[in-house]
Amino acid sequence: MKRKRINVTETYLPSKEEYESVIGELWETKWLTNRGSIVLNLEKKLQNYLGTETTPLLVSNGTLALQIPIKALQLSGEVITTPFSYVATTSAIVWENCTPVFVDINPEFLTIDENKIEAAITKNTTAIVAVHVFGNPCAVEKIEVIARKYDLTVIYDAAHCFGVKYRDKSIFDYGDFSTTSFHATKLFHTGEGGAIFCNDKSSTDLIYNHHNFGHDGPLAFHGLGINAKMSELNAAMGMALLPNMDYVIGERKMISEHYDRNLNWNTIRKPKLRDGVEYNYAYYPIIFENEKQLIKTQNALNEANIFPRRYFYPSLNSLPYVAPIDMPVSDNVSETILCLPLFVGLDSKSLNWISELINNSVD
Ligand SMILES: *Cc1c(COP(=O)(O)O)cnc(C)c1O
């Protein structure tokens, strides 16, 4: 039976009334960007909701959120990073004229393998850009020790981490910088958008200036910058959405638990969550025994008008603009991992249907 198309995700929107109640003031203020009151307000509200130590700096997307700390600190040479992520993690490093040095991932957590980092450090290494992939924290304590020993800057790409806590702290509090994305496909979104959590207090002004053309007043220029400001229209989406986030995360938890109960785990597995994590249910990845099984299952779902996504494929060490290198674990996981549909409104009938199709396909 052909049903309505189901994608891997569907953007959650606040009601029109909620959005209008936030943007209404723009017709009086006529102030659409340049850190207007909605942006400033959202920064405070986010800090309060997430419980972070620092106030986030809202920016126009999660890619610039990564590039700005690299640029501002004038990082150069080699940057240690993970091959298992969205392409923006690597492209940000290359765009800023640094060389990505890949370190393979842990096969269970799918985050960078902290035990392989030291072997990849050379005299040219300046930073570690690691990803809390799918919202699963990296081994942050171990990475911190390595970074202090070799005097490296730590930037966490925390694009999947809205609401994640680790050891009773917001995951955004870890690293010299944590960056995130508020793209429409992410758990919390502003249409397009992102944020930088600058935990290295001595860099706060530098990061601010870099996101605003290098100046912090009409006549005060401090050097090179770019325009990475978030607009009031984007921030208004976030303001309207924020009060719904407990509901959104709660619904996604229920959907995830439905999959947990109904999938047949004989031949497929889930990545492991690190101990001490308060999870946000941002993604539901499953890992097959081999790529053939994945393709067979994907085809069966596609035929039923269901479109999971191969996040993340291919492994980033095979991008055309990096030096080719084998990353056996990441190469294998990339070939065998599929993210299942997960969004508010995915009803139990559809969930049963998806689970049944998967179970029949991997049998
Ligand atoms: C989405 C994403 C980004 C990029 O964020 P944009 O807001 O789309 O620029 C970066 N890193 C990871 C891991 C992502 O998933």
For the stretch 249-288, pLDDT in tens is 999 999 999 999 999 999 999 999 999 999 999 999 999 9
What's the gap in Å between 61 CA and the centre of ligand 1?
Answer: 8
CB of 191 sitting under 6 A from ligand 1: no
Residue nearest to atom 10 of ligand 1 (CA): 88
**At 213, is the secondary structure helix, strand, or coil?**
coil
CB of 60 sitting under 6 A from ligand 1: no
What's the gap in Å between 93 CA and the centre of ligand 1?
Answer: 13
Q: What is the pLDDT of residue 74?
A: 97
Give me the torsion for CA of 110, 174, 185, 101, rounded to 10°: -50
Q: What is the pLDDT of residue 2?
A: 61
| Chain centroid to CA 22 | 26
What's the gap in Å between 83 CA and the centre of ligand 1?
Answer: 14
Task: Name 318's Cβ contacts closer than 8 Å, sequence gap at least 6.
Answer: 324, 331
Q: Which residues of the chain have pLDDT under 70?
A: 1-2
Q: What is the pLDDT of residue 1?
A: 56
CB of 251 sitting under 6 A from ligand 1: no
| Chain centroid to CA 9 | 14
What's the gap in Å between 75 CA and the centre of ligand 1?
Answer: 20
CB of 183 sitting under 6 A from ligand 1: yes
Domains and CATH numbers, the chain: 16-243 (3.40.640.10), 245-362 (3.90.1150.10)
Q: What is the pLDDT of residue 305?
A: 96
CB of 256 sitting under 6 A from ligand 1: no
Determine the Cα–Cα distance for residues 300 and 90; give it in Å rounded to an integer. 32
Q: What is the pLDDT of residue 66?
A: 98
What is the crossing angle of helices 204-211 and 62-72, to 10°? Answer: 120
pLDDT in tens, 68-87: 999 999 999 999 999 999 99
Instruction: Match 């203020």 to its residue by tokens.
Output: 29
